[in-house]
Amino acid sequence: MLGDTDGFLQGAQRERLRPRKERSAERYTATVVWMGMKMDNVLKRLLALLIAAACIFALCACGGTADGENAADEPEHDAEEVRRAVKPEEPEKIWPGPDVKLTEYDGVVEHLFFHPVIAYPEVAFRGDYMEKGLDDWMLTVSEYRAILDRLYENGYVIVDIGDVWGEEMASDGSTVMVRKTLMLPEGKKPLVISYDDVNYYEYMREYGFTYKLIVKDGEVWSWGLDPQGKEVVSQDLDAITILDKFVDEHPDFSMYGVKGCIALTGYEGILGYRTQTTTEGLTAEQEKQRQEEIKAVRPVIDALKENGWYFGSHTWGHIDLSGYEVDGVSEDTGRWKDEVASLVGDTPYLFYPHGARPDGDDLDQTGSVLRYLYDQGFRVFFSVGIESFSRIKDDIPAVIVDRLHPDGTTLRWSRDRYMRFYDAKDVFDYGHRPDLGRDW
């Protein structure tokens, strides 16, 4: 149970810290087996799956529900197995396969984080009071795509946070946080990617971002309005869907299909759906609308998880943890669990808003706020820095990690620091960004 004081992770949290390769073994094994079967075995498997599907249909007719009330009685991957059997010409592109040699990697694991990307820069950069902030902290679609291209060309491969850090039992019976041994294809360099504020706040809708994520034909798409007010459903205008397409086109950019960690607040809902409550309370009509938003976002969450995405906390209110005492953090964390974790699941990952460290210092001390957050089940704490830095705590089984931030600020003023990933000269959106200077 999240928050157990004995240090052991159970349930969803323990599952999250297992290596992705182990967590998804059934999925990958099924894919490899499917690709290598002889035709007679394929026919036998297809027949068995059709029989299983018929049994499931019969069970649903006898009281099963589409909402999964009987999910505990059904094999987890039945629907996916049936899909593969019906569409054998479209096997999943899981990489690396058994023919790829893996070697031990013990170097630095880089970590880049992004915000939602600007789909329509002509709307964002219009010379008003928002322009400077958007220029500082966001990327345009063209810049983001170019960065993905350069990362791929430079040999990076996306790995799961749970494959890098995890809890283990020491010889004395205590629980410790450890840096795990990564096994990577030769020549590949590990990269964790995370995304903050994938909530599609109200201001984003006014400044050239997509509005929300939706599910279409079993895939995640973005939905929004273009500058002329026309509805646009796309996979080319949003950071999440662009990475999905990129990995689909370049399977060797991801270990076992992992994408990134989505760090969510809750004060304006999640993923573009207004699932939040208010301190003033909601009218009956407002609560009805909120429940409709909750119902609508659930398939999106499921589709993201199925496609290699996972979730972290960015606090409910995007609060500056360096300026809050335990009581305030407790209230915020409670709301995050009630309104966000209740939808996406528990998580051991906490991403500090503004990069602000709890108690003013989480490296050389474990203050009351950090200890409270640890007691709530968080184990990997992410700030923002100038290098992909990490340190395991001495007094609690937790790790502090700094992330790098590709955005307008670093494109303009930190070109040299990011050269191992990409050259800002090659990715900068000269045609849309305002003339605010740069050091190259």
Bond from prior residue into 96 cis (ω within 30 degrees of 0)? yes
Res 165: pLDDT: 97
Tens of pLDDT, residues 176-225: 999 999 999 999 999 999 999 999 999 999 999 999 999 999 999 999 99
The span from the CA of 350 to the CA of 353, in Å, is: 9
- Residue pLDDT, tens place only, 235-287: 999 999 999 999 999 999 999 999 999 999 999 999 999 999 998 889 999 99
Which residues, 6+ apart, have CB-to-CB distance to 433 below 8 Å? Answer: 121, 125, 135, 140, 408
User: Taking the C-alpha atoms of 73, 77, 78 and 81 in order, what is their torsion angle to the nearest 10 degrees?
Assistant: -170
Using CA atoms in the order 22, 23, 26, 28, what is the torsion angle rounded to 10 degrees? -70
pLDDT digits (tens, 9 = 90+) for 135-149: 999 999 999 999 999
Please give the domain boundaries of the chain with CATH numbers for all domains: 103-427 (3.20.20.370)
> What is the enclosing helix (H) or strand (E) of 83?
helix 78-86
Rounded CA-CA distance 403/349 in Å is: 13
Q: Which of 200, 268, 265, 191 is nearest to 239 (CA)?
A: 200
Beta strand 261-264 with 189-196 is parallel
> pLDDT digits over 326-353, tens only?
999 999 999 999 999 999 999 999 999 9
Give CA torsion, residues 420, 422, 423, 428, to 10 deg.
-150
Q: Which residues contact 272 (CB under 8 A, 6 or more apart)?
A: 199, 200, 210, 211, 212, 213, 223, 297
Strands 165-169 and 212-216: unpaired
Q: Which two tokens stand for residue 202?
A: 């109200």
The structure's pTM equals 0.81
Q: How far apart are CA 354 and CA 335, in angstroms?
A: 19
CB-CB contact of 93 with 248 (8 Å):
yes
